[in-house]
């Protein structure tokens, strides 16, 4: 730059000397060298300026270092400004000297409201004015500090953050710190939601009507609810940490059907009916539901639910006893008894029916009721009439497999389920053969008596007529 070089030369004569005047020296071969000129005039013996003397020092390396430093500073400032976390630089006297855009957004203030202010006035927290203040900690010799804190903005809004602070030194002297604030509001909200969810689940777990327990992968009980404590009749400290099969054993324990073993092999859910035994020997019939517990994709245990079905089992046994009793009453009945559905198909029979028809129970069940009689059409009509009204003394002739016929009088009525819906009909066929025979004999006797009476009457009339003639 000849023009700049000329100005520098002329400046030397104006002010007497020039210091660190930078130029680029150009060689014949085109090589350029950054130089720093120092120049001054020199005089003759009378004091008149004769000329000037200039020395050009090669400062290429220094200029390269300065350029590199500026570029590094620009790069660092760019990183500082675009950082996702809020960042600020604080001097040794707690004054904020630099902030990034995220910090400005976090504190909701303008930059000119922040720079030069005390850090604890801009973004305070429980660490301020305490021994755990990051600046005080680093001033005492630490290089790095990390804390979780609740910071408060000037408008009072509180923001949970993780504070990372690093020490700033210049010429081996502490001059301040750089602080990084990571906003963990969402994480804190998630943690609160998780705690609330856990508390809710624990409440549900504890107030569940069924007995419940959590068992780890090694069969150790790690949690139980109040109903479980009542079911096994033990205190919690007697249960937690103990093997599940020692606390509440059963026929599934130590077998391939053990719920924990099945779920460990990959099943997601198990449901079984079992009889569990308490440590005092008392047996309790239960329905066991077990679900797999995974953590980070790894099997860690199971949750078991035990529904006490003692009352149901007792009711089932009472029903079976009642059924046996009712069946006994049916079987000892000397009359043939049938049950049939809406289509007249036999659903059950008693022993008397088997004897009367000469067919087995298996041969009768599932066949038409009407097929047991000599007049199937009349029998079918009687069966269907039962679903309209109660049937009494409906006479039919029962036909046995060997052809034997028996006159019967059927009484039939419907029976209903617990909801009042008609399930089928019940019919009793009473053998009236003897009665019908007696009725026939009676009719024949009456007829003979009538004939005998008529003959006597005729004889008396004849005799009276003869007497009158005489």
Q: What is the pLDDT of residues 172-230, one digit of tens each?
A: 899 999 999 999 988 888 888 888 777 777 777 777 789 999 999 999 999 999 999 99
- Take residue 197 and report the two structure tokens written for it: 């969810």
- Cα torsion 367, 370, 375, 377: sign: negative
Q: What does the pLDDT look like over 429-439, one tens digit per residue? A: 999 888 888 87
Please list the residues that pair with 397 across neighbouring strands.
407
- Take residue 215 and report the two structure tokens written for it: 């068992």
What pTM was estimated for this model as a whole?
Answer: 0.48
User: What is the DSSP annotation of 37-62?
Assistant: EEEEEEE-TTS-EEEEEEEEEE-HHH
- Take residue 231 and report the two structure tokens written for it: 């079911």
Cβ atoms of 94 and 118 closer than 8 Å: yes
> What is the per-residue burial (b if ≥16 Cβ within 10 Å, else e) of 128-167?
beeeebbbbbbeeeeeebebebebbeeeeeebbbebbbeb
Confidence at 377, pLDDT banded by 50, 70, 90: very high
CATH superfamily of 333-431: PAS domain (3.30.450.20)
The predicted structure's pLDDT at residue 69: 60
Instruction: Compute the distance between CA of residue 385 and CA of residue 370 in angstroms, rounded to an integer.
Output: 13
Q: Does domain 83-183 sit in CATH 1.10.3210.10? A: no
Give me the percent of the chain exceeding a pLDDT of 90.
53
CATH superfamily of 2-64: PAS domain (3.30.450.20)
The predicted structure's pLDDT at residue 82: 64
What backbone torsions phi and psi does residue 142 show, to the nearest 5 degrees?
Answer: -70, 155
- Take residue 369 and report the two structure tokens written for it: 């009721």
- Take residue 254 and report the two structure tokens written for it: 């130590």
User: Where in the chain is CATH 3.30.450.20?
Assistant: 2-64, 83-183, 205-312, 333-431
Which strand (E) or helix (H) includes residue 295?
strand 283-295
Cβ atoms of 48 and 36 closer than 8 Å: no
Mean pLDDT for 250-255 is: 92
Pairing of strands 173-183, 158-170: antiparallel
> Which distant-in-sequence residues (6+ apart) come within 8 Å of 443 by Cβ?
none
CATH class of 205-312: alpha beta
- Cα torsion 226, 232, 236, 242: sign: negative
DSSP-based three-state secondary structure for 72:
helix
Confidence at 326, pLDDT banded by 50, 70, 90: low
Mean pLDDT for 374-381 is: 95
Quick one: DSSP state of residue 366? T
User: What is the DSSP annotation of 149-209?
Assistant: EEEE-TTS-EEEEEEEEEEEEETTEEEEEEEEEEE-HHHHHHHHHHHHHHHHHHHHHHH-S
What backbone torsions phi and psi does residue 377 show, to the nearest 5 degrees?
Answer: -65, -45
Give me the percent of the chain exceeding a pLDDT of 70.
94
**Residue matched to tokens 């009889």:** 275
């Amino acid at each position: 730059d000849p023009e700049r070089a000329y100005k520098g030369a002329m400046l030397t004569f104006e002010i007497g000397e020039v210091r660190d005047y930078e130029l680029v020296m150009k060689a014949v071969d085109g090589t350029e060298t950054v130089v720093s000129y120092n120049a001054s005039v020199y005089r003759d013996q009378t004091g008149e300026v004769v000329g000037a003397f200039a020395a050009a020092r090669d400062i290429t390396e220094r200029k390269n270092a300065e350029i590199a430093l500026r570029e590094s500073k620009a790069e660092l400032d760019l990183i500082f400004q675009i950082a996702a976390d809020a960042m600020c630089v604080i001097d040794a006297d707690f004054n904020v000297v630099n902030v990034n855009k995220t910090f400005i957004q976090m504190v909701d203030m303008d930059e000119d409201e922040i720079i030069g202010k005390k850090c604890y006035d801009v973004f305070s927290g429980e660490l301020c004015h305490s021994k755990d203040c990051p600046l005080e900690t680093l001033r005492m010799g630490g290089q790095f500090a990390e804390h979780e804190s609740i910071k408060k903005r000037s408008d009072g809004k509180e923001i949970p953050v993780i504070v990372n602070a690093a020490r700033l030194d210049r010429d081996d002297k502490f001059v301040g710190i750089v602080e990084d604030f990571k906003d963990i509001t969402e994480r804190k909200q998630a943690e609160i939601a998780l705690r609330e969810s856990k508390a809710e689940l624990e409440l549900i777990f504890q107030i569940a009507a069924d007995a419940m327990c959590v068992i780890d992968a090694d069969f150790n009980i790690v949690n139980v609810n109040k109903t479980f404590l009542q079911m096994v009749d033990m205190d919690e400290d007697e249960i937690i940490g103990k093997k599940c099969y020692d606390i509440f054993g059963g026929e599934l324990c130590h077998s391939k059907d053990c719920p924990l073993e099945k779920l460990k092999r990959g099943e997601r859910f198990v449901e079984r009916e079992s009889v569990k035994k308490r440590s005092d020997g008392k047996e309790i019939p239960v329905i066991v539901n077990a679900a797999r517990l995974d953590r980070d994709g790894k099997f860690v245990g199971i949750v078991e639910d035990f529904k006490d079905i003692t009352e149901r089992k007792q009711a089932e046994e009472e029903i079976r006893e009642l059924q046996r009793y009712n069946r006994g009453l049916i079987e000892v009945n000397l009359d043939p008894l049938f049950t049939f559905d809406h289509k007249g198909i036999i659903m059950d029979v008693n022993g008397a029916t088997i004897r009367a028809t000469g067919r087995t129970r298996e041969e009768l069940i599932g066949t038409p009721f009407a097929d047991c009689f000599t007049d199937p059409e009349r029998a079918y009509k009687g069966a269907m009439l039962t679903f309209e009204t109660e049937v009494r003394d409906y006479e039919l002739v029962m036909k046995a497999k060997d052809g034997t016929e028996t006159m019967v009088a059927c009484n039939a009525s419907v029976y209903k389920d617990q909801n009042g819906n008609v399930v089928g009909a019940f019919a009793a066929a009473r053998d009236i053969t003897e009665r019908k025979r007696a009725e026939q004999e009676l009719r024949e006797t009456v007829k003979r008596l009538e004939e005998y009476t008529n003959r006597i009457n005729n004889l008396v009339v004849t005799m009276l007529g003869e007497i009158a003639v005489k």
